[in-house]
Structure formats: structure tokens, C-alpha cells
């Protein structure tokens, strides 16, 4: 409605009635009405699609649509367009049902007079505008409620993480700390009576306890960063064969006391692949560390990387304790540990971090495992490659 002029789409197959309505509207004084007249519903839909109208005057008996069926396509196409229904006097029930279904008003053709018609049209437009405003306010309110609910859930999640961390601190952190206290105390007090081998064993105990604490701390810092959206994925071209090989070497070198055997195989070019070096390191190092931790000493871990047409995938397979089927779904939740870990130390954070890092790469992670047989984790990342000029890191 621009100023005082109202543009109406009249859908009426009876030409005489259409002309009469047009005459009625001509004599209106408070507003200027312009009327576009069509005879069929399909023509009306086309008109609404290409032009703006303030209101639709709809006859319920059309050649291509009968009764209330006409309402739905009109309301679907233009939900905020008010509709006033025209009926014959004997269509009383139908008219009321039309209003129930979304029409703004109904007029019995035989009773129409110029002032009744104009008043009904003006009210219909006002009412629809008020409804529309209410609907928009409602929508804005719902969006705000959704936003606040998400924030509340996030805060709850952070709270939960915090309390789980405190529980972890008091429980899982104490074990390695006690081991350090005990071994260092013995080394200090009984230095003279301890054999060289015993001393070495205590130093090794202290070292692995510190490593465990260090890993837990790093995991907690990482999950905190991931949850607050501070973990970012910065892609750079990588030579994945070199990357995986040096990771394996590093593992062997830094875990020399646990007699590790990692077999690395690869297929495909695997060069110039765009990856985030740090995130990929978190993913693979965590999976390898778990494979070692949950396997008997001296066991072989099979680590593979391959390039397919649209993805690169990494696979870490072990013949360790396996994961009970009922635990497999929840493994990637923070602090979740399977029921068969027994006394094997851990925080339950590693796989949650791995999952976040995989998601930041828009990749996927899956697990196949059988208790007593072993476990395979597979990570698939979408393949994108650097151009030759960008070089390989
Ligand atoms: P954790 O610090 O406990 O190892 P993770 O988040 O890395 O935490 O792993 C979650 C749980 O998944 C582990 O506690 C363990 O129950 C199970 N798990 C992970 N990797 C393996 C594996 N290779 N073999 C058997 N169980 C595994």
C-alpha cells in the first residue's frame, strides 16, 4: 500500500460481478483502489509472482479451483498477502472455514455495498499487517531463545568439563605424582644402598610419570582451545610420506623404553597435500600413542597412509585389547573411557581432541574393533593439493 492507494487482485470468473465490484471501489472516498482482474487461480498466481499487491479478493468458485483449495497455493506463494473471500449467501460454513484457514474476512456477494466492501478491505489489510508484525516479533523471539539456549548448553558443557577436569586432577594426576614422590624420595634417601639398575628403574619411572602428566595437561589445554573455537585449521602443503615417517621415528626415539614396533606403509603420491601440520600431528600422534598404550609390550602397530581420488586416509591398526562394542559410540566424547581399560592410565580426552581436529579438516573418523582381537582407527580427510609453485613442506 503506497500512501492512499491500494492495489487489489480480484480473482473472479464472473465478468458482471467483477465489473460491479470495480464500480463499488471507484466511488470510495478515503482510498484510491486499483484493481487487476483475473478469472483463474493459475493466472492469479502468475500475477502475484511478478507484481506487488496489497490484497486479494478471491471468489471461491473458480473454473480451475473449487472452494477452499484456492487458499493454500495463494498463501504459500505470498504468506503476508491478505485475502478476502467472496461467497454466495448459501456458503456460510465455507466462508467461516476460510477465515479459520487464514483468510482475513469473507463477504456475501449479495450483501456487498460500496461502504461494506471498502471497510472490509481496509480492515483486512490492517489486520494482516498487525498479524505479520506479531509473527516477525515472535520469530525474532524464537531466534533469541534458540541463541540463549545454545549459549546455556555451552556454558553447561564448560562447567561439566571443568568439574570433570577437577575430578581428573585429583584422581589421575595423583597417581603419577605419587610415583614421582616415591621414586625421588627413595633415590634421595637410599642413594648409597640402591643398585645401579634400581636407580635407573626409578629414574625411568619418574620420566614416564612426568610424560603422562605432560600429556594430560596438553590434552586438557587442547580440548579447552577446541571448545572455545580457538583451534584453527591452517592449511599448508605437506609431503605426507615424509611427515608420517618422521612421526614414526620420533615415536620410536621418545618411547625407547617400551620396545615399540611401528610398520609404516603408504600408497599414492601423498605430496603437496594441503593439511594443517599441527592438527594432523595431534590426530596421528594420539592414535599411535593409543595403539601402543592398549597393546601388549613389543606388539607391532600398523600405520598406513593412502591417497585416493578425493581423499587421503590414514589407518592405525593394532592387535591390542580392543574396544567393547557398546563403548564404541561414545569414545569420542571428552573423558569417556571404555570399560576394559582396567589399570591402563589415561584421561579419556585424546580421542575427543582427535575428533575436533578431524572435523576442523572437514574429515571423518571411524573405528573398527573387537575385544581381544584389536582396533583400527581410520581417518579420511578431503584431498586438496597445492599447486607446484606453492612448494611442498
Ligand atoms: P585415554 O587417555 O583414556 O586413552 P582417549 O580419548 O585417547 O583417552 O581414548 C578413549 C578411550 O578409547 C580409551 O580410554 C580406551 O578405552 C579406548 N581406546 C582408544 N584407543 C584404543 C585402542 N587403540 N585400543 C583399545 N582401546 C582404545
Return mean pLDDT, the chain: 89
- Rounded to the nearest whole angstrom, what is the distance from the C-alpha of residue 353 to the centroid of ligand 1? 12
Question: What are residue 277's phi and psi, to 5 degrees?
Answer: -55, -45
Give residue 221's pLDDT band: very low, low, confident or very high (50, 70, 90). confident
**Taking a C-beta distance cutoff of 8 angstroms, is the pair 74, 48 a contact?**
yes
Q: Which of 164, 173, 350 to mutate to test the pocket of ligand 1 (most atoms within 8 A of CB)?
A: 350
Strand, helix or coil for residue 353: helix
The answer, yes or no, to whether residue 4 has pLDDT greater than 80, is: no
Burial class (CB in 10 A: 0-12, 13-18, 19+), 56: buried
Which residues line ligand 1 at a C-beta cut-off of 6 Å?
A: 286, 290-291, 294, 318, 320-323, 331, 337-338, 341, 346-352, 375
Query: In CATH, what class is 157-227?
Result: mainly alpha
Question: What are residue 79's phi and psi, to 5 degrees?
Answer: -60, -25
Domain with CATH 3.40.50.2300 in the chain: 5-112
Q: pLDDT (tens digit, 9 = 90+) per residue, 81-118?
A: 999 999 876 677 888 888 899 999 999 888 888 888 99
Whole-angstrom distance, CA of residue 56 vs CA of residue 301: 73
Q: Which of 139-143, 205-209, 235-239, 312-316 has the highest mean pLDDT?
A: 312-316
Who's near 168: CB < 8 A, 6+ residues apart? 216, 220, 335, 347
Helix, strand, coil percentages in the chain from 3-state DSSP, rounded to 5:
55, 20, 25
Give residue 225's pLDDT band: very low, low, confident or very high (50, 70, 90). confident
Q: Strand order of the sheet with strand 261-267?
A: 261-267, 300-307, 311-318, 374-382, 364-370
- Among the four given CATH numbers 3.40.50.300, 1.10.287.130, 3.30.565.10, 2.30.110.10, the one describing domain 236-382: 3.30.565.10
Count CB atoms within 10 A of the CB of residue 310: 9
Closest of 260, 275, 357, 236 to residue 318, by C-alpha: 260
Question: For position 393, what pLDDT does the model report?
Answer: 47
The answer, yes or no, to whether residue 18 has pLDDT greater than 90, is: yes
55-59 and 5-11 strand pairing: parallel
Give the largest Cα separation in the chain, rounded: 119
For range 123-141, the mean pLDDT: 90
Question: What are residue 73's phi and psi, to 5 degrees?
Answer: -60, -35
- Rounded to the nearest whole angstrom, what is the distance from the C-alpha of residue 242 to the centroid of ligand 1? 27
Query: In CATH, what class is 5-112?
Result: alpha beta
The answer, yes or no, to whether residue 66 has pLDDT greater than 90, is: no
Q: pLDDT (tens digit, 9 = 90+) per residue, 331-353?
A: 999 889 999 999 888 889 899 99
Count CB atoms within 10 A of the CB of residue 258: 14
Domain with CATH 3.30.565.10 in the chain: 236-382
311-318 and 374-382 strand pairing: antiparallel
61-62 and 32-38 strand pairing: unpaired
Domain with CATH 1.10.287.130 in the chain: 157-227
- Rounded to the nearest whole angstrom, what is the distance from the C-alpha of residue 333 to the centroid of ligand 1? 11
φ/ψ bin of 374: left (φ > 0), alpha (ψ from -120 to 50), beta (otherwise): left
Amino acid at each position: 500500500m503506497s500512501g492512499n492507494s491500494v492495489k487489489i487482485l480480484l480473482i473472479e470468473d464472473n465478468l458482471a460481478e467483477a465489473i460491479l465490484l470495480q464500480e463499488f471501489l471507484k466511488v470510495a472516498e478515503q482510498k484510491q483502489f486499483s484493481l487487476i482482474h483475473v478469472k483463474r487461480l493459475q493466472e492469479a498466481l502468475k500475477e502475484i509472482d511478478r507484481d506487488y499487491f496489497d490484497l486479494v479478493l478471491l471468489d471461491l468458485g473458480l473454473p480451475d479451483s473449487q472452494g477452499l483449495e484456492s487458499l493454500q497455493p495463494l498463501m504459500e506463494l505470498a504468506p503476508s498477502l491478505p485475502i478476502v473471500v467472496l461467497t454466495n449467501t448459501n456458503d456460510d460454513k465455507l466462508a467461516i472455514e476460510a477465515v479459520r484457514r487464514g483468510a482475513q474476512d469473507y463477504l456475501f456477494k449479495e450483501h456487498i455495498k460500496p461502504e461494506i466492501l471498502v471497510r472490509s478491505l481496509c480492515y483486512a489489510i490492517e489486520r494482516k499487517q498487525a498479524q505479520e508484525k506479531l509473527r516477525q516479533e515472535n520469530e525474532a523471539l524464537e531466534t533469541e531463545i534458540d541463541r540463549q539456549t545454545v549459549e546455556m548448553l555451552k556454558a553447561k558443557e564448560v562447567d561439566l568439563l571443568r568439574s570433570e577436569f577437577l575430578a581428573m586432577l585429583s584422581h589421575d594426576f595423583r597417581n603419577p605424582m605419587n610415583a614421582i614422590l616415591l621414586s625421588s624420595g627413595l633415590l634421595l634417601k637410599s642413594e648409597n644402598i640402591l643398585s645401579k639398575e634400581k636407580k635407573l628403574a626409578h629414574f625411568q619411572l619418574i620420566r614416564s610419570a612426568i610424560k603422562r602428566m605432560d600429556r594430560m595437561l596438553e590434552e586438557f589445554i587442547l580440548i579447552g582451545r577446541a571448545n572455545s573455537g580457538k583451534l584453527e585449521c591452517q592449511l599448508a602443503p605437506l609431503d605426507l610420506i615424509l611427515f608420517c615417517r618422521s612421526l614414526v621415528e620420533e615415536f620410536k626415539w621418545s618411547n625407547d623404553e617400551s620396545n615399540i614396533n611401528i610398520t609404516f606403509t603408504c600408497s599414492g603420491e601423498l605430496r603437496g597435500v594441503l593439511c594443517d601440520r599441527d592438527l594432523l600431528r595431534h590426530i596421528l600422534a594420539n592414535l599411535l600413542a593409543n595403539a601402543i598404550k592398549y597393546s601388549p609390550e613389543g606388539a607391532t602397530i600398523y600405520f598406513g597412509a593412502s591417497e585416493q581420488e578425493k581423499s587421503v586416509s590414514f589407518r592405525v591398526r593394532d592387535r591390542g585389547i580392543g574396544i567393547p562394542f557398546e563403548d564404541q559410540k561414545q569414545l569420542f566424547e571428552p573423558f569417556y573411557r571404555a570399560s576394559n581399560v582396567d589399570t591402563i592410565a589415561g584421561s579419556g580426552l585424546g580421542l575427543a581432541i582427535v575428533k575436533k581436529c578431524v572435523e576442523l579438516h572437514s574429515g571423518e573418523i571411524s573405528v573398527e574393533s573387537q575385544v581381544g582381537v584389536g582396533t583400527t582407527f581410520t581417518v579420511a580427510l578431503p584431498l586438496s593439493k597445492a599447486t607446484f609453485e606453492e612448494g611442498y613442506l
